[in-house]
């Protein structure tokens, strides 16, 4: 039976790795949510090696958009004949190092930008995809969250002013817990992918003046796939 997976933030880092690895599984349809479907990065997804019976569908999903997620769901049904989603991975997110100041120096507009993408974007994605997820025998909604958005993580990362990012992920985590209780047939959970060496993380670390150590994208993705 064909498995249908939707991954947002699919052009870079962990999202890109998830698309690549899922396509290596037979009979898997991967829906890659990207901000700019006509970009070189998005087009490169179509050149990934595919196992027999597998394919990639590229759709426009900008986490900040009020309509992209619902438009994408409609496109999947009407243009591509997708009648269900088995797994949705909310991977798209924003982390702006320049926005991370101590509470006294925070700009609420920076906080709002992180919340709009990292929390509201997750809600938009779920609301749009739930009708298709609900048709799966085992629907899964996975949030790529952050260690800094946990009680223990707040202490671990106390010396880094990750206020806007962490707060937005805490809000997203709350809604994931609510989904689990509101939809008993849904498997909904958030994961901390670990310290992963990605292009965005390397750039952010440079701006924050910290070193980059951790897992490769392939190592991270292999670990995530063991959960779903």
Q: In the annotation, is 169 catalytic?
A: yes
Catalytic annotation, pick one of 20, 60, 120, 169: 169
Contacts 24+ apart (CB under 8 A), 73-77: 73/128, 73/129, 73/131, 73/132, 76/31, 76/132, 77/132
Catalytic annotation, pick one of 20, 60, 120, 165: 165
In sequence order, the 6+-apart residues with CB closer than 8 A to the CB of 128 are 69, 70, 72, 73
Asked if 26 contacts 54 with a C-beta cutoff of 8 angstroms, the reply is yes
SS3 content of the chain, % helix, strand, coil (to 5): 50, 15, 35
Sheet holding 87-90, edge to edge: 55-60, 28-34, 3-8, 87-90, 140-144, 187-191
95: left (phi over 0), alpha (psi -120 to 50) or beta: beta
Give the pair of three-digit tokens for residue 160. 């880094």
Q: In the annotation, is 12 catalytic?
A: no
53: left (phi over 0), alpha (psi -120 to 50) or beta: left
Map tokens 């994931």 to a residue. Answer: 176
Q: How far, in whole angstroms, is CA 226 from its chain's centroid?
A: 17
Positions marked catalytic: 165, 169
């Amino acid at each position: 039976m064909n498995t249908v997976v939707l991954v947002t933030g699919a052009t870079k880092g962990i999202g890109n790795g998830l698309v690549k690895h899922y396509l290596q599984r037979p009979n898997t349809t991967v829906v890659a949510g990207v901000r700019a479907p006509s970009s070189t990065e998005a087009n490169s997804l179509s050149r990934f090696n595919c196992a027999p019976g597998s394919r990639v569908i590229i759709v426009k999903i900008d986490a900040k958009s009020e309509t992209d997620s619902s438009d994408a769901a409609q496109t999947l049904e009407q243009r591509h004949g997708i009648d269900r989603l088995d797994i949705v991975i909310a991977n798209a997110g924003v982390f702006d190092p320049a926005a991370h100041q101590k509470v006294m120096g925070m700009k609420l507009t920076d906080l709002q930008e992180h919340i709009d993408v990292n929390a509201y974007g997750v809600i938009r994605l779920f609301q749009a995809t739930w009708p298709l997820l609900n048709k799966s025998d085992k629907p899964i909604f996975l949030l790529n969250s952050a260690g800094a958005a946990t009680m223990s993580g707040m202490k671990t990362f106390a010396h880094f002013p990750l206020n806007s990012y962490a707060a937005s992920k805490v809000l997203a985590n709350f809604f994931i817990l609510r989904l689990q209780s509101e939809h008993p047939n849904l498997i909904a959970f958030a994961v901390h992918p670990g310290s992963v060496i990605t292009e965005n993380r390397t750039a952010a670390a440079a701006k924050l003046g910290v070193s980059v150590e951790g897992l490769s994208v392939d190592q991270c993705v292999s670990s995530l796939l063991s959960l779903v």
